[in-house]
C-alpha cells in the first residue's frame, strides 16, 4: 500500500501526458511556452481567481508575495507554528521577522485569538505588523472570515498558504479567492501535483499580478534584459505545465474520491480518536487524513506490522526547530501546536485507495486503538 499512490493516478493518464510532453518537445518552448499561459487560464477558471501567476515551487510563490509587498526588516509576518517549514522560512530571507501563532486543535489551522494577541505583542516589541500567512493545513481552508477581520483591523495583507488545499472551498468560495493572495504548490505529493517542482500565486488584483509576473523573471520591464526592479528566477517549466493541464482534467473526480476515503475513515474511527473537523460550508481536499490520539505509537507500530505506511505531520512546531528558536511566539506560547506534535498521525490518503486497502487501514487502526489493547 502507498501513502500517496502517484503510479495509480498516472496509469489512465499516461498516454495523454506522453502526448502533451511530446508536443512540448516538438515546439521547443521549454521556458514560458504556450502551455504555461494555457494552464494559468485554466487554473483561474477552476478556482475563480482573476489572475494566476505560476512559478517554480510553492515556497517561491510565498517569496514572490513577500517581494511584491516589499516586506523587509522591522516587519512582522504572522505564521502558524504548526505547519511545514516553508510557510515561515521565506520571511527571515527578506529580513522580516516571523511571529509564531498557535493553531486550533480541531482544524489544525491558525487560531484568531492567538493571532490577535501576537499582533499586539509584536507592535509592543517595536515591529510593524504587515502580513498574515495562514496555512490551510491538511487541505482544509483556515477561518479567513475571522483571520481576515484581524488582518484588516491592522491594515495587514492576508495571505493563504494553500500548498495543501488547492481545490478546497469555504463558504461557497474556492481556495484562490479567500485572501488577498493565495499561494500553492504542485509538488508531486500535493493534491494537484506535477512531476517535479511547481507553484502558483492567485490574486484578484491585476496590478499585483503584473508585479508578480515581473518579479518571477528577474524584475523584468519590457523583457528580461530590461530590469526595472530586483527580482528572482522562478518560472514553471513548460513540461510541468503540460503535465498539470492533463492532471487538472481528472482533479474534480479525484477530490470526490478523496472525500469518500475521508468519510470511510471518519465513520470508522469516530469512537476511538479525535478526527479532523470540517466546518459546515467548507470542503477539504484531504491532503492528509490526520488523527489525534494519545496512542499514536500503537497505531504506527500496528500499521508498520501490516505494511501500511503512516506519517507524522509535524513532529515539532516551528518554534522548536533549531533554525527558528529565536523568533517571537504569541503571548502564552503555542500550547496547542506543542500538543498536536505529540498526538498526530496521518494515514494513507489518495484518490486511488481501493476499498480493500481502506478496509485494511480501518481494521488495523481500530485494532491498535482498541482500549483493551492500548490500555
Binding ligand PLP by CB under 6 A: which of 135, 156, 175, 200? 135
Q: Does 344 bind ligand PLP (CB under 6 A)?
A: no
Q: Which stretch binds ligand PLP (CB under 6 A): 35-43, 52-60, 239-247, 274-282?
A: 52-60
Site string for ligand PLP, 186-205 (x = CB under 6 A): -x---------x-x------
- Which residues inside 204-243 make contact with ligand PLP, applying CB under 6 A? none
Which residue, 59 or 360, has its beta carbon nearer to ligand PLP?
59
Q: Which residues pair with 79 in a beta bridge?
A: 100
Residues touching ligand PLP, count (CB under 6 A): 15
Closest approach of Cβ 15 to ligand PLP, in Å? 27
**121 forms part of the interface with ligand PLP (CB under 6 A):** no
Please report whether residue 58 would count as binding ligand PLP according to CB under 6 A.
Answer: yes
Contact status: 9 vs ligand PLP (CB under 6 A): no
Q: How many residues does the chain have?
A: 375
Binding to ligand PLP (CB under 6 A): which residues in 151-170?
Answer: 161, 163-164
* CA 146 – CA 164 distance, rounded (Å): 20
Q: How far is the CB of 163 from ligand PLP (least distance, A)?
A: 3
- Taking CB under 6 A as the rule, does residue 290 contact ligand PLP? no
Q: Which of 84, 108, 138, 327 binds ligand PLP (CB under 6 A)?
A: 84
The answer to whether 324 contacts ligand PLP (rule: CB under 6 A) is no
Q: Does 80 bind ligand PLP (CB under 6 A)?
A: no
Q: Which position among 44, 52, 87, 203 is part of the footprint of ligand PLP (CB under 6 A)?
A: 87
Rounded to the nearest whole angstrom, what is the least distance from the CB of residue 90 to ligand PLP in the complex? 9
Q: Can residue 182 be called a binding residue for ligand PLP (CB under 6 A)?
A: no
Q: Is 348 in the site for ligand PLP (CB under 6 A)?
A: no
Least distance to ligand PLP, CB of residue 202, Å: 14
Give the angle 263-313-62 at the CA atoms, nearest 5°: 105
Q: At its nearest, how many Å lie between ligand PLP and the CB of residue 363?
A: 30
* Options 52, 54, 83, 282; binder of ligand PLP; rule CB under 6 A: 83
Distance CA 64, CA 54 (A): 11
Compute the least distance from the CB of residue 43 to ligand PLP, in Å. Answer: 15
- Closest approach, Cβ 348 to ligand PLP, in A, equals 18
Q: What is the 3-state secondary structure (H, E, C) of the chain?
A: CCCCCHHHHHHHHHHHHHHHHHHHHHHCCCECCHHHHHHHHHHHHHHCCCEEEEECCHHHHHHHHHHHCCCCCCEEEEEECCCCCHHHHHHHHCCCEEEEECECCCCCCECHHHHHHHHHHHHHCCCEEEEEEEECHHHCCCCHHHHHHHHHHCCCEEEEECCCCCCCEECCEECCCCCCEEEEECCCCCCCCCCCCCEEEEECCHHHHHHHHHHCECCECCCCCCECCCCCECCCEHHHHHHHHHHHHHHHHHHHHHHHHHHHHHHHHCCCCECCCCCCCEECCCCCEEEECCCHHHHHHHHHHCCCCCECCCCCCHHHCHHHCCCCECCCCCHHHHHHHHHEEEECCCCCCCHHHHHHHHHHHHHHHCHHHHC
Cell of 342: 505529540
- C-beta nearest to ligand PLP: residue: 58
Q: Which residues bind ligand PLP (CB under 6 A)?
A: 57-59, 83-84, 86-87, 135, 161, 163-164, 185, 187, 197, 199
Amino acid at each position: 500500500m502507498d501513502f500517496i499512490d502517484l503510479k495509480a493516478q498516472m496509469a489512465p493518464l499516461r498516454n495523454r501526458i506522453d502526448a502533451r510532453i511530446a508536443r512540448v518537445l516538438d515546439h521547443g518552448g521549454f521556458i514560458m511556452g504556450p502551455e504555461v499561459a494555457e494552464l494559468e487560464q485554466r487554473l483561474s477558471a477552476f478556482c475563480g481567481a482573476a489572475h494566476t501567476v505560476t512559478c517554480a515551487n510553492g515556497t517561491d510563490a510565498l517569496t514572490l508575495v513577500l517581494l511584491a509587498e516589499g516586506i523587509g526588516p522591522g516587519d512582522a509576518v504572522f505564521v502558524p507554528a504548526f505547519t511545514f517549514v516553508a510557510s515561515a522560512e521565506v520571511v527571515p530571507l527578506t529580513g522580516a521577522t516571523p511571529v509564531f501563532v498557535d493553531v486550533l486543535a480541531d482544524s489544525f489551522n491558525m487560531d484568531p485569538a492567538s493571532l490577535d494577541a501576537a499582533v499586539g505583542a509584536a507592535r509592543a516589541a517595536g515591529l510593524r505588523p504587515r502580513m498574515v500567512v495562514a496555512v490551510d493545513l491538511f487541505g482544509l481552508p483556515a477561518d479567513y472570515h475571522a483571520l481576515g477581520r484581524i488582518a484588516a483591523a491592522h491594515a495587514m495583507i492576508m495571505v493563504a498558504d494553500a500548498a495543501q488545499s488547492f481545490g478546497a472551498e469555504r463558504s461557497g468560495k474556492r481556495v484562490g479567492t479567500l485572501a488577498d493572495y493565495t499561494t500553492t504548490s504542485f509538488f508531486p505529493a500535493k493534491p494537484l501535483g506535477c512531476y517535479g517542482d511547481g507553484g502558483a500565486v492567485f490574486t484578484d488584483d491585476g496590478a499585483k499580478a503584473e508585479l508578480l509576473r515581473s518579479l518571477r523573471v528577474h524584475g523584468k520591464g519590457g523583457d528580461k534584459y530590461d530590469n526595472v526592479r530586483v527580482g528572482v528566477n522562478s518560472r514553471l517549466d513548460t513540461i510541468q505545465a503540460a503535465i498539470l493541464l492533463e492532471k487538472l482534467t481528472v482533479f474534480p473526480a479525484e477530490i470526490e474520491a478523496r472525500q469518500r476515503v475521508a468519510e470511510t475513515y471518519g465513520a470508522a474511527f469516530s469512537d476511538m480518536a479525535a478526527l479532523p473537523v470540517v466546518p459546515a460550508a467548507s470542503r477539504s481536499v484531504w491532503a492528509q487524513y490526520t488523527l489525534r490520539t494519545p496512542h499514536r505509537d500503537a497505531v504506527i507500530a500496528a500499521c508498520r506490522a501490516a505494511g501500511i505506511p503512516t506519517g507524522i505531520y509535524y513532529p515539532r512546531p516551528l518554534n522548536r526547530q533549531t533554525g527558528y528558536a529565536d523568533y517571537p511566539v504569541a503571548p502564552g506560547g503555542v500550547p496547542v501546536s506543542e500538543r498536536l506534535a505529540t498526538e498526530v498521525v496521518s494515514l494513507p490518503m489518495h484518490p486511488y485507495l481501493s476499498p480493500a486497502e481502506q478496509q485494511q487501514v480501518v481494521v488495523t487502526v481500530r485494532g491498535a486503538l482498541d482500549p483493551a489493547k492500548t490500555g
